Structure 1
Amino acid sequence: MNAIHHPVAWDHPPTRHAWTRHMAMNVTGLVGWPAVWIALLGVSTYTPNWVVWIFLPCFLYGFYRFANQLTYFSWAFRMRRILRAYAWQILEGVPNGIGKHPHARDDGMWFEFRNPADPDGKVPLVFIKHQRSYWWLRRMDGPGTKPERRAEIEPLWFAGDPRFFAVIAAPARGGKMPKRLHLLYQRPVFDRRCAPENWDAASADIERARRAGAVQVGHIPQPHL
């Protein structure tokens, strides 16, 4: 079942399965952290009072992770909207790196894609949200990255428009299905405090991005790269 034969990525059954697994991980984390609190409380009732102070960092970290886990759901549903609006592209040799990209506003790991409006132009997409990005970090081009790890994200699955946002994924099962779904985006798309940029996107591209969940899109001249 070839993913690129579907008009949008969501029509590809293995993609829906990958997204469901992603959501299952979210639910597991949401249930798991309260379970850890309950277990620690149970243990602390049978231990001396000083043991509670040892458990305190675990309680605080658990609260942080639980609050963080709640945010995963909104990002997962944003991911689904993008998958329902764009088709998969299977891309070979996508430039990527761990240091700051010279034309990105944010620091961090990045992929560089061709600008749909200009075959010679490049658009970087940075890992702005670092949750669940460690797996990608270990496989992107950088000092000490082993070739066999780099091969795990080749070819790259891509659904979206790099001028706005995209869902990326690594190949699984011989390249027949995606895994490790991750949402990349230009910061202004979801942050109204940032000046919008769309890299000379046509009106149809802007409207499609809005349907896919972009909060803010605008029009500024394309930067010279």
Structure 2
Amino acid sequence: MYSTDCPSAWDHQPTRSAWTRHMMRNVVGQVIWTAAYPGLFYVMVVFTSQAFVFVFLPFILYSLYRSLNQLTYFPWALRMRGILREYPWQILEGVPSGLGKYPGARDDGIWFEFRDPADLDEKIPLVFIKHQRSYWWLKRMDGPRTKPGRRAQIEPLWFAGDPRFLGVIAAPDRGGKAPKRLHVLYQRPVFDSRCAPHTWGADVADIERAQRAGARYLNNAPQPHA
């Protein structure tokens, strides 16, 4: 079953399986890093001398940081599910991407460039604002140091969402019929109330759909003229 036959990405069984694997990695990581902090501390106190404190301390602090940081993955996994429930997959060939700052973009970071659904002649960047788990994508974006063949690993690009607001990207599996490496991208005003919303000509239905997908701060967005 091809994903484009489904009314939403979530209706695609391989997508639900991919999301479940994504969530399970979050759970396993949380268990490992949560156990690592007290475990390393116990080993340092019980089995080593004071001379080894400075050897263990960086690892203990890092495991504590990772344990706390891992907690932030769960809300984003739930947001990802909300987007997948609302939008269907689009299978896109040759989506422009880059490693440097996109001209005129609000944020600095690696990016994909999508066409504006309201005006196909206009282009909208989705920047990797959150750098968590972006390293895999970083190594496959268009750039002078991208190793040959790596860009092909994200072709065609799977995209579910609206680039004016938020979306989920994914790379195809080897068979090309299922997504992998799910990642949420969004425009900063969607989740940051301090930023003025920009809707790129979206109508009321588009804004309401984005809100159903999890967009939070679009109530003050400019409304289209009748």
Q: 1:220 deviation in Å?
A: 7.4
Aligned to 1:169, the other structure's residue is in SS state strand
- Aligned residue in 2 for 1:28: 28
- What TM-score does the superposition give when structure 1 sets the normalisation length? 0.95
| 1:46 aligned partner, one-letter code | F
SS at match of 2:105: coil
Give the secondary-structure state (helix, strand or coil) at the position aligned to 2:120: strand
Q: Partner residue of 2:222?
A: 219
Between the aligned partners of 2:2 and 2:109, the Cα distance in structure 1 is 32
Is 1:195 the counterpart of 2:200? The answer is: no
| Separation (CA, whole Å) in 2 of partners of 1:103 and 1:157 | 25
Structure 1 unaligned spans of 5+: none
Match of 1:5 in 2: 5
Q: Does 1:128 align with 2:129?
A: yes
Q: What amino acid is the match of 1:219?
A: P
2:108 alignment counterpart: 107
Instruction: Give the Cα–Cα distance (whole angstroms) in 1 for the partners of residues 155 and 98 of structure 2.
Output: 14
Q: Partner residue of 1:38?
A: 38
Contact 1:201 1:219 in 2 (8 A): no
Task: Give the letter for the 2:222 counterpart.
Answer: H
Aligned runs of 1:1-225 on 2, under 5 Å? 1-44=1-44, 45-217=46-218, 218-219=221-222
* SS of match in other structure, 2:71: helix
In structure 1, C-alpha distance between the alignment counterparts of 2:134 and 2:162, rounded to whole Å: 20
Whole-Å Cα distance in 2 between the matches of residues 13 and 173 of structure 1? Answer: 17
Measured against aligned partners, the alpha-carbon deviations of 1:123-149 in whole angstroms (never above 9, x if no partner) come to 000000000000000000112112310
The code of the aligned residue for 1:38 comes to P
Identity %: 68
Counterpart residue identity of residue 20, structure 1: T
Counterparts of 1:103 and 1:15 in 2: how far apart (Å)?
33
For residues 104 and 88 of structure 2, the distance between their equivalents in structure 1, rounded to whole angstroms, comes to 26
Q: Which runs of 5+ in 2 are unaligned?
A: none
Return the alpha-carbon distance in structure 1 between the equivalents of residues 64 and 107 of structure 2: 28
Distance 1:127 1:201 in 2: 22
Does the Cα contact within 8 Å between 2:203 and 2:223 map onto a contact in 1? no
How far apart are the structure 2 equivalents of 1:36 and 1:212?
Answer: 35
- Within 1, Cα distance between the matches of 2:61 and 2:42? 17
SS of match in other structure, 1:65: helix
Write the deviation string for residues 172-194 of structure 1: whole angstroms up to 9, x where unpaired.
Answer: 03211000000000000000011
Misfit runs of 4+, over 6 Å? none
Aligned-partner SS, 2:17: helix
Cα separation, 1, equivalents of 2:25 and 2:184: 16
Letter in 2 for 1:190: F
